[in-house]
Amino acid sequence: MAGELEGKRIAVTGAFGSLGVAVVRALQAAGARVAAIDRAERPHAEAELGEARLFGGADLAEADAATATLDRAADALGGLDALVNIAGTFRWETVADGRLDTWDLLYTVNLRSAVAASKAAIAHLAKNASGRIVNIGANGAVKAGAGMGAYAASKSGVARLTEALAEELKDRRITVNALLPSIIDTPPNRADMPKADFDRWVKPEQLADVIVFLLSDRASAITGASIPVVGRV
């Protein structure tokens, strides 16, 4: 809804990726000012991110980098009302033929980076009357299929982080929620699954709409929720 986030100062991680770009655009359309954070040095197309302040080259799994980047983002925006943790990645590997290192990689990218960014943001969010954290989990983590073990384990961690942090931050009036997407309609997914019915997949813009709602004043009573947003998958 236009103007729903007027004046809100929001940090988005994984902001240069497929979902991140759509979220940054939706937040700005709703009136927010955005710090776009990513490990990649720069976005594929800078223009897509509008007026967002860009913080590339930040590996959020590194505690010092996470703290320094969230501090710089808060400085640039004049404070922080919300953090959206989108940074993440995917691997499909069976246990028998896959590598043990993949479990460490997905834990690091999908869970550790969300913990480090949240930890770095809390002091900034607590200065306001209604802080917000939104995490991106995965619906595929509710019950893992073959080859999905490492990914599902890491995204299950995101769900548990969401619950624990929601309880921890209740008295500081910071809500913490997660979205559980199914397959997102992104160019890489289309390239990987060319015969799929793309129309059934959830669009980045549909996920962004739910995030805008969770960041708005209308969602102030929702915390600790992991919300499936799955399209027709």
Ligand X SMILES: NC(=O)c1ccc[n+]([C@@H]2O[C@H](COP(=O)([O-])OP(=O)(O)OC[C@H]3O[C@@H](n4cnc5c(N)ncnc54)[C@H](OP(=O)(O)O)[C@@H]3O)[C@@H](O)[C@H]2O)c1
For residue 79, which of 18, 145, 20, 129 has the smallest C-alpha distance?
Answer: 129
SS3 of residue 26 by DSSP: helix
The least CB distance from residue 204 to ligand X, in Å, is: 7
Q: Which one of 3-11, 44-52, 57-65, 125-133 is the stretch in contact with ligand X (CB under 6 A)?
A: 57-65
CB of residue 3 to ligand X, shortest distance in Å: 26
* C-alpha distance from residue 217 to each of 79, 130, 134, 175, 182 (Å): 18, 8, 14, 11, 26
CB of 107 to ligand X, least distance (A): 11
What is the rounded CA–CA span in Å between residue 163 and residue 101?
27
* 38-to-5, 26, 56, 88, 139 alpha-carbon distances in Å: 22, 18, 5, 10, 23
The answer to whether 181 contacts ligand X (rule: CB under 6 A) is yes
60 near ligand X, judged by CB under 6 A: yes
Query: Which residue from 186, 196, 231, 233 is in contact with ligand X, where contact means CB under 6 A?
Result: 186
Among 5, 13, 120, 212, binds ligand X (CB under 6 A): 13
Q: List the one residue from 11, 24, 58, 208 that touches ligand X (CB under 6 A).
A: 58
- Point out which span in 4-12, 17-25, 76-84, 167-175 binds ligand X (CB under 6 A): 17-25
107 assigned to active site: no
Instruction: Note whether 26 binds ligand X by CB under 6 A.
Output: no
Contact 116, 110 (CB under 8 A): no
Q: What are phi and psi of 10, to 5 degrees?
A: -130, 130
- Closest approach of ligand X to the CB of residue 202, in Å: 8
Candidate list 12, 36, 52, 86; residue touching ligand X; CB under 6 A = 86
Site track for ligand X across 95-134, x = CB under 6 A: --------------xx--x---------------------
Separation CA 142–CA 225 (nearest Å)? 14
Q: What CA–CA distance (Å, rounded) separates 56 from 145?
A: 34
The pair of structure tokens assigned to 59 is 């590996």
CB 131 within 8 Å of CB 173: yes
Residues in the chain: 233
Q: In the window 193-232, what residues touch ligand X (CB under 6 A)? A: none
Binding-site size, ligand X (CB under 6 A): 29
Q: Which residues bind ligand X (CB under 6 A)?
A: 13-14, 16-20, 38-40, 58-61, 86-90, 109-110, 113, 136, 138, 181, 183-184, 186, 189
